[in-house]
A and B are shown apart, each in its own frame.
Chain A
Amino acid sequence: MTIFAVIVSRLSKAILTLLAIAILNFFLIHAAPGDPAVVLAGEAGAADEQMIEQLRERFGLDQPMYVQLGKYVAGIVQLDLGYSFRQGAPVVDLIADRLPATLLLTLTAFVVSLALGIAFGVAAAARVGKPSDTALTTMALLFYATPLYWLALMAVLVFSVWFGWLPGFGYETVGANYTGLERVLDIGRHLILPAMTLGLFFTAVYMRMARASMLEVSQLDFVKTAKAKGLSDAVIRRRHILRNAILPVVTLAGLQAGQLVGGAVLTETVFAWPGIGRLMFESLAARDYNTILGVFLVSAAMVILFNIVTDIVYRIVDPRIGARS
């Protein structure tokens, strides 16, 4: 199968998956206790029946569940994710506003942690048993075991409060009105702490995986053959071992992309990063059904997309996969 055919096949499956996810989520969220009309009315500090009825009617909550579901699914098919009760705006707009920030954060964390993880893993494997290997492995274990939330707060305390090197929260300097390169650098500075916090755990995971995999592959016969042919260690590592050892890391990275999106909810909340993770967190508290469902759907789409990308990368790294099928 060509890469193009793979993409088409994966995408068509993805659409069905997304539809199933949407319907499942719809029932899940309606099963949670709490009525959005009561929460909304409650926020006003006073509520009478007239107000709650008005709200229910306005948002279609007075209709039977199957009607609500039908309308929702019909909307999705037309790429309409409905209207946010709480924020008084189309969900598509709310998500479109926030998605770039989340993509920037998760992709940065993903790419950086994958690159660093593999680099450290390879470096550790090359020095197996030496103090530098022990140091790297211990550090990885530490980052693997540390809760994200605590790490985030400590990072803010050290780099923002104590040293004042980096901004502790937000997406860019509010009110500075930077443009062009200045703006890019400003956002970059704001990105460092949240991306680091989100990425460290994954760096640790990828590093341990890469190290183990490198060690395993280096014991295989073809490596001995390569050595016998008189190739240098560096060439063997790069061309022969790494190419094979990287496959499980890529698989893992694809699988963990979902966790990355989940981690973004926490990271975005602690760092006041204006992404969809936070939008989900806040909408959940308000039982803002359409917004929650919309964010769920978009994050599911992101996970699926990450997986398709992994599949493609896989084929590039290991041409045998394409050839077999």
Chain B
Amino acid sequence: MKYLKLKATTFLIAASLASPLAAQEAGGRLDIVVQPEPPGLMLGLIQNGPTQLVAGDIYESLLRYDSDLNPMPSLAKSWDISEDGLTYTFQLTEGVKWHDGEPFTADDVVFSADVFLRETHARLRASLAYVESITAPDPMTVVFKLKEPFGPFINAFENGTMPIVPKHIYEGTDFANNPANATPIGTGPFKFDEWVKGSHIHLVKNEDYYVDGLPYLDEVFYRVIPDAAARAVAFETGEVDVLPGGSVENWDIPRLAEMDGVCVTEKGWEFLAPLSWMWLNNREGPTANEKFRQAVMYAMDREFMKDVVWNGYGKVATGPIASSTNFYSDDVTIYDHNPDKAKELLAEMGYDGEPVSILPLPYGETWQRWAEAVRQNLSEVGINVEIDSADVAGWNEKTSQWDYDMAFTYLYQYGDPALGVSRNYTADRIKKGSPWNNVEGYENPSLDEKWAAAATMVTPEEREAAYLEIQKEIVDDVPVAWMQELTFPTIYRCNVNDLVTTAIGINDGPRNAWIEK
């Protein structure tokens, strides 16, 4: 009896200790940097980073994902996948209203996925190719019927992938030129209030949000500050509270992180999982030779680059799939820093010193330094390297017209190899004019079949085995030089709680965030 009492008391003490810490406080304002200024806030039309950062608070999708990529409720409160993997049934959350007061129903979902996004959203269109029909048997139920099983389909309900837009505003209109795009109407925790171009975007709390108590914040200001150094200053002087990943140059992060009351997190990139690599032009020049490409991998000290160029943030990549993406395996050939092995391979292929160029990504100083580090490593094994340069538009032009030898890039993976990985390696994605496909020109028909098969297998176990085989084979071919899994740390004031709670991090941030006063 005494023992039981003691146990109960301990529990009570623990509970009482825990509760005041967990008491969320409502109210307050959050200032977040957005860079560059978004081109627009209609998430159904534009899904680039800055737009998703801001409009992710205004629009919502059927599901959210935790940091292990497990689906969580959002506009759908529950879902069911049939055993054959062909039917996805969603029960919608009750009591959801659009910001203009209209009720949200299954018709909005059908319209968004089947009409609006099919026309406007290139990336979703690829997944919708597997869909036979989208129907609303009743106002609170939506059914997606697939033509064949498509394993990653459950990952296609993220906000940047399938944002739900209001049918009553867009049906029968010219989507791109609808005047309503300037005053976005969503179902999300915050409503659009004002956009002062070149200065800031102001969102205010949605008082009618369907989750009781959420959001805690009264308002969010997204601040447009075009210069990286000025963004760091804005944080130092307390003008802004949050620097989303990539807002400041990497070498500024440690300095800001050491300030009093400043927290840094690498979490919140699990869904996007940006993986960086250098395209190696498989068509011509020394990079067309597999031995040369392997030599490049062995020549590079990627751990050093991560520690020095990226200040230790990120993780050296082992192959085409990032470690937070489903079906990742490190059971592949590991390319450690081994200059002797690189020299051997170069000798075997008979490399004659023909110069190769490197095109860095024009995204700031870090990328320039990264290219310098690669050049130094490659020079050490006798590869003759020149560094090319271009601005964003020029980089797009050179890479999408295949006018390069080695070019830096990174791509989001969206949780599944079939959504964000295979597109860079299969022969059907060799098309001039886009920097988002198989730019390197890698062709491997037997692997193409394996990628296609793995996408449509029903059980995760089958898919796991298939992707393991693919990873083993492709890592030996080195179609591209995998560099590292990038993490872009979010820097924020420690009194901002629950800012990064899902797999898309700050894009979902203000919904749950609260400020400790």
Contact = CB atoms under 8 A, between A and B. Distances in A.
A319 interface: no
A43 interface: yes
Contact of B434 (A52, A167, A171, A269): A52
A38 B396 contact: yes
Interface residues of B, number: 53
Contact of B227 (A38, A48, A101, A269): A269
B202 A175 contact: yes
A313 B236 CA distance: 45
Interface residues of A, number: 57
Contact of B394 (A33, A36, A98): A33
B223 interface: yes
A284 B362 CA distance: 14
Contacts of A40: 39
Nearest to B434: A47
Contacts of A101: 198
A267 to B, nearest CB: 11
Nearest to A169: B230
Q: Which of B39, B177, B198, B237 has the most CB of A within 10 A?
A: B198
Given A33-B394, A35-B396, A44 B48 contact: yes
A207 interface: no
Contacts of A274: 196-199, 224
Contacts of A170: 199, 223, 225, 239
A271 B229 CA distance: 10
Nearest to A87: B39
B392 A282 contact: no
Contacts of B236: 161
Interface in B181-213: 181-182, 196-200, 202
A174 B221 contact: yes
B337 interface: no
Contacts of A169: 225, 230, 233-234, 239
Interface string B23-54: 00000010100001101100000111000000
Chain B facing A: main interface SS: mixed
Given A43-B48, A58-B176, A38 B433 contact: yes
Q: Which of B121, B224, B396 has the most CB of A within 10 A?
A: B396
Contacts of B227: 269-270, 272
A189 to B, nearest CB: 14
Interface string A83-119: 0001111000010011001000000000000000000
Interface in B134-151: none
Contacts of B226: 269, 272, 278, 281-282
Nearest to A276: B198
B73 interface: no
Q: Which 3 A-B pairs have the closest CB atoms?
A: A34-B393, A274-B198, A46-B123
24 contacts: A33-B394, A34-B391, A35-B397, A38-B400, A38-B434, A38-B435, A39-B392, A39-B393, A42-B436, A43-B48, A44-B121, A44-B122, A46-B436, A88-B39, A89-B182, A97-B197, A98-B197, A153-B229, A161-B236, A170-B225, A272-B230, A274-B197, A274-B224, A275-B198
